[in-house]
Structure 1
């Protein structure tokens, strides 16, 4: 273990993960804890928090990528920030091992209180070829890459002759019929529709979109009637919706689909774009801690958001968000626990900050988390959406407005809200941005080509030179004849 870099020796509240929960907890506590002589330390591999409900709109070109993230440095000015990841926690000794993102040696940090808010990662299955061919939609980088992939494939496909190669380039597949998958597919379809309008070599009928869902319905967060309407809506836009269907193989981009539950062959085709949105799982890092976890790999918690074992809550240990199993006292949660969504995360984060402050400094009282799910909203591209708000169903434009209104308010920090709303206004005036950014994976290509000397030309005799040489050779002979 390397020597610990010079960090504050004040009593520390260590926040593991800078997502929704970590950002809000640090933001609410940083000044208060500082006033009491302590410090809040946040550790995350990224220097920003990603507002994940906006990832489909980033992929669809409605929101600038940087505006869907919140900078830690900009807003956590009184927080000790470490860009890296916590790889182990030993709460018995109140220590955590931090691995810096720059590749330097890991080091130990001591703490007085810890907040486990490491969130969730994409859940995958051992499907042949999936790791090589698929892309998720859990990070801002994935959303940007997906947007550019779609635009590049459309542009490239427009230059191809009709046939299997062009069909593969212009086929886009989304696996997973939850909110993330449906919103991603709908935004991609809207973007593709806008892109082909500007390309006279293609029409919308040349583009193929396929949704693959293993269950017999999509979007369990809305009513069954609304879910059926969404399927009909997508099909009216030319999307092939395959329910009771699962992905069996994706090797080399050749997809093999099977019917569920009998697993008989369903369909085979090729694609260059496979988007995987079939669920999430708690960050597996928690298995490297001495905290109690449940059968789904989540940190066990009580309604006060304290990490809790068989013998009761652990002193100085807290958790919230997607990585935690928080009881849903409203009675509406799946399996009795709060579902992993932004609605719960933001409310839990605010209560968690208050509870830590009350417990540690005696200001206020520790309270239980209880929030009845207000419903769900989803956007399907410009002016289209579905919503279920407190049992009241909305479709089309009203649902789209509810979607933008809710997420516009839920986006952390006023300056980020302002940037996002500005994006929406610009999109309303000028339309969806279909500009493809090139060479994001190889940004040095242009410089490398400019800095590389051109190959030396090989001297090849010209026709005129050959004729001259022949003439010169003939002159002596002519003189001799004379």
Structure 2
């Protein structure tokens, strides 16, 4: 049997292993997947996790539960040495070890892009993983509790100020959902005035949501501003030391919650620790059929997909265009990657990846959204319903679909759960202090 190694258990990696299990006989190949987390994160649900509209565990798909024929290795791949057909794995405990393979599928994904802004690493929270979305929610809920017992002034104002840096999909969706939660939350605090919570969205370019055209994007800005947000376009964060935000426009203010959503950067193992070919952006060079390499110099038994792969966009009219690193492409590339690997093992030709966009849909908070497909634009409640309908169908497994639907139906009758569990970050405090 040939040994197939999948590096990374995100969207592309999970679907690659999941579909390979269904396409290959048990005696055809041994499947191994390496990832430090025991689950695949359904990232489109992270904004709703921050708002409590989706339970955190329901946005995570267990690898061991759904990959029944795949050996799941809990660890981080630190080196890919394809010349030797081996990877180095660093587990959470114990020494590093090597895993050999015959065929590799690199689906390690990307990491959050950071800039050398003073104070960001010490104070900001990303929004790429489940624990980050939960921390954002708990930080907001705890801030309201703390602010309610303080007199009006700088300390209270700081606790009730939220800043999102980055106006892409994850930033705008997270921003809209946090605003929606805060507006619902303030009604539970008679000590606070509804005008006190402040929300800042900072974007370095002149527009937000680059996946939608200019006019709908401007509508989103106006919609957020009508709800009390301050949208800073063509603006960057110069400093965030001790939560004191300094913008490139000269404006300064204190913020108790800073969320960093400025896009993706190359995964370090792909960018620095592999002998596979990479482009200038640190992504693996792949052909349209997801094989690593070029038409003139293919790399045998090596494949890649997802955010860490520079996949040619055959559906684009722009020469040399690459697919956008998002969930829509990673999901479909993972499925095709499994088909192509299976075909390759059986001596059949691989198919090229071609996907025409289904449009862009985003939630802007409870009951608000936007959808665009070419010139068709839908706004408000219908777009929000489309967002929920699409993603409940897209999340893997019926078990997860039913759990998410159950939470949504419960919220219709009982509202959002507003309990903060920030104390779970320090579980021994009560035991140590005896309080």
TM-score, structure 2 normalization: 0.97
Counterpart check, 1:65 vs 2:50? no
Which of these residues, 212, 219, 232, is aligned with residue 229 of structure 1? 219
Q: Deviation per CA, 1:189-244, whole angstroms, max 9, x where unpaired?
A: 11111111111111220101111111111111111111111111001100011111
Corresponding residue of 2:421:
437
CA distance in 1, matches of 2:124, 2:320: 30
CA–CA distance in 1 between the matches of 2:212 and 2:320?
18
Q: Partner residue of 1:418?
A: 402
Q: Spell out, residue by residue over 1:362-387, the C-alpha distance to the aligned partner (whole angstroms, 9 max, x if none).
A: 3x541000011121100011110011
Q: Are 1:119 and 2:132 an aligned pair?
A: no
Q: Say which structure, 1 or 2, has more relative contact order (CA 8 Å, 6+ apart).
A: 2
Q: How many residues align?
A: 434
Check if 1:142 corresponds to 2:132: yes
Instruction: Say whether residues 1:306 and 2:291 are aligned partners.
Output: yes
Aligned match for 2:251, one of 267, 273, 276 = 267
Secondary structure of residue in 2 paired with 1:336: coil
Residue 297 of structure 1 corresponds to 282
Q: Is residue 215 from structure 1 mapped to residue 205 from structure 2 by the alignment?
A: yes
What does residue 433 of structure 2 align with? 449
- Match of 1:355? 340
Q: Is the 8 A contact 1:385 1:397 kept in 2?
A: yes
- Once residues 106 and 284 of structure 1 are traced to their aligned partners in structure 2, the CA distance between those partners, rounded to angstroms, is 17
Q: 1:387 aligns to what?
A: 371
In the aligned structure 2, how far is the partner of 1:429 from the partner of 1:332?
48
CA contact (8 A) 1:45 1:83 kept: yes
1:418-471 residue CA offsets vs partner (Å, 9 max, x unmatched): 111212111222112211114121112222334x9xxxxxxxxxxxxxxxxxxx
Q: CA deviation at 1:89?
A: 1.0
Distance 1:333 1:248 in 2: 34
User: Quick check: which has more Rg, 1 or 2?
Assistant: 1
Secondary structure, counterpart of 1:12 in structure 2? strand
1:379-429, CA deviations, whole angstroms, 9 ceiling, x for partnerless residues? 011110011124311100111111111111111112111111212111222
- 1:52 has 2:37 as partner: no
Q: Alignment partner of 1:439: what SS? A: helix
What's the CA shift string for 1:43-86, capped at 9, x where partnerless?
A: 00000000111101000110000000000010011101100011
Q: How does 1:154-193 map to 2 (within 5 A)?
A: 154-193=144-183
Q: Secondary structure at the match of 1:153?
A: helix
Ranges in structure 2 where 5+ consecutive residues have no aligned partner: none
1:168-190 CA deviation, whole Å, 9 max, x = no partner? 11110001111111111110011
Partner of 1:373: 357
Q: Secondary structure at the match of 1:131?
A: helix
Find the aligned partners of 2:46 and 2:296 in 1 and give their Cα distance: 40
Match of 2:190 in 1: 200
The aligned residue for residue 86 of structure 2 is: 95
Q: Are residue 326 (structure 1) and residue 311 (structure 2) matched?
A: yes
Aligned equivalents of 1:116 and 1:407: distance in 2?
25
Greater CA drift, 165-174 or 388-397: 388-397
Relative to structure 1, the CA distance from residue 332 to residue 322 in structure 2 (aligned partners, 3 Å threshold; closer, same or farther) is farther
Separation in 1, partners of 2:306, 2:278: 14
Which residue of the partner structure matches residue 476 of structure 1? none
8 Å Cα contact 2:135-2:422 kept in structure 1? no
Find the counterpart in structure 2 of residue 249 from structure 1: 239
Shift of residue 32 of structure 1?
4.2
Please say if 1:28 is aligned against 2:28: no
* Rounded Cα–Cα distance in structure 2 between residues aligned with 1:255 and 1:58: 26
SS across alignment from 1:59: helix
> Structure 1 residue runs of 4+, over 3 Å off?
31-34, 332-335
Unaligned runs of 5+ in 1: 1-9, 260-265, 453-482
What's the Cα RMSD here? 1.5
Alignment counterpart, residue 99 of structure 2, candidates 97, 100, 109 = 109
- Mapped to 1, the partners of 2:254 and 2:107 lie a distance apart of 39
Cα deviation 1:12-43 (Å, max 9, x = unaligned): 10000000111111111125445234211000
Distance 1:360 1:310, change over 3 A: closer
Q: Is the 8 A contact 2:142 2:420 kept in 1?
A: yes
- TM-score calculated relative to the size of structure 1: 0.88
State the alpha-carbon separation in 2 of the partners of residues 53 and 140 from structure 1.
Answer: 11
2-structure distance, mates of 1:36, 1:332: 43
Partner residue of 1:132?
A: 122
Inter-partner Cα distance in structure 1 for 2:30 and 2:260:
39
